[in-house]
A and B are shown apart, each in its own frame.
Chain A
Amino acid sequence: MEWNHQQFPPVDQVGIQERVARFITRSLKKETKSKALRLALSMIDLTTLEGKDTPGKIEQVCHKALHPCDDIQGLPLVAAVCVYPIYVSTAKKCLENSSVKVASVATGFPSGNVPLNLKIEETLYAVDHGADEIDMVISRGEFLIGNYNFVYDEIAAIKAACGAARLKVILETGELSTLDNVRKASELAIAAGADFIKTSTGKIQPAATMPVTLVMLETIKDHFLRTNRLVGMKPAGGISTSKVALQYLVMLHETLGERWMTNEWFRFGASSLANDIVLQLGKERRGVYFSKNYVSSD
């Protein structure tokens, strides 16, 4: 199949912004809020993607994934821990026998500017060491010059290399500049076999925003209406408070509905969101906020 720029439906930026403004005024309180926060916690891909990561840091993050806050009973575990390929085996060892998945970024993250054979090799390396999920980046340079076939073929090749691992495709929307481009990239990724589409690496500003996420959710919805196939969504970067996370869940519910309201089809890529949710849930139990000193910062 040949891709060209005319194949993509247009997006109206003003309309998207107006729709988003409606989501953020919905109110969730008390029991619904508490359950929604627990759901949000279960959707987190706890992430550490730094040059200065160490095996020790990875172990800490994995411990946190397994014990978000032992003080509060019945808390769900996060969905996954997201790391660089060399730490996949460390994470895998820590998370064995738990429901928490190991996700690995791959394909020359965050820029993606390496040849395809190396991208495939990196993906295979991560999968061989036990990654359950691969977070790849698209080649934004090729996308922006209109080489859609290149982008499509690359995603399809990585999907093949993933085998049983689920593939999340990072569009890095902060570099795509328009919502029309976000729509195009989402269409390409979904058509090429993405199990999830993801906004950002977290290395570029702006990272996840509600308008961008809405465009991606709409692409998922349209794909579902055409093919009945579900695709997951992962906004990543910049979602650090419970309040914002709940606004994303409102948007998810009103755009895609009940079937996506699970960590099988929706994730938050975040490092500090889990802490804020724990603080909020702790407040519900105690009636007051406790100090951040009681929550580990990793």
Chain B
Amino acid sequence: MKNNFEWKYSPAPESTEHIKIDPRYDLFINGKFVKPLSKTYFETSDPATGKMLASMAHANEKDVNTAVLAAKTAYDKTWKKMPGKERGKYIFRIARMIQERAREFAIIESLNGGKPIRESRDFDIPLAANHFSYYAGWADKLDYAFPNRTPKSLGVVGQIIPWNFPLLMAAWKIAPALATGNTVVLKPAETTSLTALKLAELIRDCDLPPGVVNIVTGFGNTGAALVNHSLVNKIAFTGSTGVGKLIQKSIAGTSKKLSLELGGKGAHLVFDDAPINQAVEGIVNGIFFNQGHVCCAGSRLYVQENVASEVITKLKARMQTLIVGDPLDKNTDIGAINSEGQLKKIKDYIQLGKNEGLEIYQPECGIPTKGFFCKPTLIIGAGQSSRLVQEEIFGPVLSIQTFRTIEEVIEKANQVPYGLSAGVWTDKGSKIFNLTSKLRAGVIWANTYNKFDPTSPFGGYKESGFGREGGLHGLQPYLSF
């Protein structure tokens, strides 16, 4: 019998009917939602449909001040004095409540951020809960984590997070800060604040002492007010290198501690002795995960020349099977680009590739006519000096170059301002160890890509920032000795 029908997956979207999103959200300060002194609100929408989801408060300097004062009072009166064992119980409770409401968080994350439900359900939300439970465990063991060094908490921590992993980044920031005995003022990204506000509701419901975690929504000026507030003892920022540099400038000369997790341009190396079919899968996962809105994305592919044509042929074939579309559909591999501005930026880079006369490949898949979508894209043969190789695109765009010798590829891999992540595909263990010591990147994956675990530190070299999040190392930026 011949297969005489079109093989097509059936839409399987998550229902949003049971999801409760308020029309308007206020600022979460001192354990309550309070109206902003600024009296202004802004709207947040679903990037896949353009539909307005909610409006939220735009915190100004006065609002940030209220939040910081609440955090300061909570630190002095309650949190600083609380034994680590008790702090740990609260953090465990947050972890459990995220797990209980995982489905709700996953759907809101996909609605507001555009990422496929497969990722928010299987990656973002479970990992966020894991971060809380992992750091809850450290809360009463800090003396053992740093023997003979008497670790002390810092005070009020200002945290600013990006839009690519909204809840996960909030977890990465809040969990270690609370475990080490600090209180928090967190500013989520303006396009994706919904899950942070849902987290605020959850924190309120779990009876965390008021003021220990405060969440203020807003734009760049909100973040600036937080950075410049004199009672803030530490700033933790994840976002673009440009903003990271501004933050570093503004706190120069103060005693504030700083940790930055900034941009990246991950080198992904494929050697001729690699398991090629799995390497192709790793390449796809490395660059198209979360539409390429990943600071550690493997966005520069270096393939050894004798397997280049095989890898590129297989990569193109694999890309034909990727499904771009409704983020809430469980079949979807690539969801919506987070904002109109970001989509334009990505398209400008693709245009640049065309202007440079490079081969551009996109699969024949359809994309929705509404919303912000971009096909997965290969740009083949860009020069090392090209902006396409040097700059972070933050979209589903992969530049491909070939190399002949290992010395050559190490040099090329290191020849960018960033140093966050790298990946290596080879069947030879000795080659992996040789490369991990020579690639200047904070995270290096071997024969896999984009693997995360709360126990493993994550952070960058060079213009990708400093300070580590995750693992034992992730406690240090929140402690003084």
Question: Interface residues, chain A, CB within 8 Å of chain B?
Answer: 9-12, 14-16, 18-19, 25-30, 32-33, 35-36, 38-39, 42, 76, 218, 221-222, 225, 253-254, 258, 261-263
- Which A residue sits closest to B310, measured CB to CB? A225
- Cα separation A29 to B9 with both chains bound (whole Å): 8
16 contacts between A and B (CB under 8 A): A11-B277, A12-B447, A14-B447, A15-B278, A15-B279, A19-B281, A26-B331, A27-B331, A28-B10, A29-B10, A32-B6, A32-B8, A218-B277, A254-B321, A262-B2, A262-B3
What residues make up the interface of B, taking CB atoms closer than 8 Å to A? 1-3, 5-12, 118, 273-279, 281-282, 285, 310, 313-314, 321, 330-331, 427, 447-448
Alpha-carbon gap, A67 to B313, bound state (A): 44
Find the residue from B3, B276, B448 having the highest chain A CB count within 10 A: B3
A26-B331, A39-B3 known; A10+B8 contact, CB < 8 A: no
In this complex, what residue of B is CB-closest to A260? B3
Task: Determine whether the beta carbon of A10 is less than 8 Å from that of B427.
Answer: yes
Distance between Cα atoms of A30 and B8 in the complex (Å):
11
Distance from B4 Cβ to chain A, minimum over Cβ atoms (Å): 8
Expressed in whole angstroms, the minimum distance between the Cβ of A158 and any Cβ of chain B is 28
Residue from A12, A16, A222 with most neighbouring chain B CB atoms (10 Å): A12
What residues on B are CB-neighbors of A28 within 8 Å? Answer: 9-10
- B276 → chain A, closest Cβ, in Å? 6
Q: Report the Cα distance A29→B8, complex, angstroms.
A: 9
Q: Which residues of A contact B12 (CB under 8 A)?
A: 27, 29
Q: Is the beta-carbon distance between B7 and A32 smaller than 8 angstroms? A: yes
Asked if A15 and B282 sit within 8 Å, CB to CB, the answer is yes
CA distance A263 to B3 in the complex (A): 9
CB-CB under 8 A from B330, the residues of chain A are 25, 27
B27: shortest Cβ distance to chain A, in Å? 38
Shortest Cβ distance from residue B121 to the other chain A in the assembled complex, whole angstroms: 10
Q: Taking the nearest CB of chain A, how far is it from the CB of B333, in angstroms? A: 8
Residues of A within 8 A of B7 (CB): 32, 36, 253, 258, 261
Residues from chain A with a CB closer than 8 A to the CB of B274 are 10
Q: Would B5 and A32 count as touching, CB distance under 8 A?
A: yes
Q: What is the CA–CA distance of A30 and B427 in the complex, to the nearest angstrom?
A: 43
Cα–Cα distance between A258 and B8 once the two chains are bound (Å): 12
CB-CB under 8 A from B313, the residues of chain A are 225
User: Which residues from A are CB-within-8-Å of B448?
Assistant: 14-15
With A33-B10, A258-B3 known as contacts, the answer to whether A15 contacts B447 (CB < 8 A) is yes
Which residue of chain B has the shortest Cβ distance to A253 in the bound complex?
Answer: B7
- Chain A residues contacting B447 (CB-CB under 8 Å) are 12, 14-15
Chain B residue nearest in CB terms to A225: B313
Q: How far apart are the CA atoms of A44 and B12 in the complex, in Å?
A: 28
Asked if A9 contacts B276 (CB within 8 A), the reply is yes
Instruction: Tell me how far the C-beta of B12 lies from the nearest C-beta in chain A, rounded to whole angstroms.
Output: 4
Which chain A residue shows the least CB distance to B321? Answer: A254
Distance, CA A208 to CA B118, complexed state (A): 27
Since A12-B275, A19-B281, A27-B331 are in contact, a sample of 17 more A-B pairs with Cβ atoms closer than 8 Å, ordered by chain A residue number, is: A10-B273, A12-B278, A15-B279, A15-B282, A15-B447, A25-B118, A27-B9, A27-B10, A27-B11, A29-B12, A32-B5, A32-B9, A218-B277, A225-B313, A253-B7, A262-B2, A263-B1
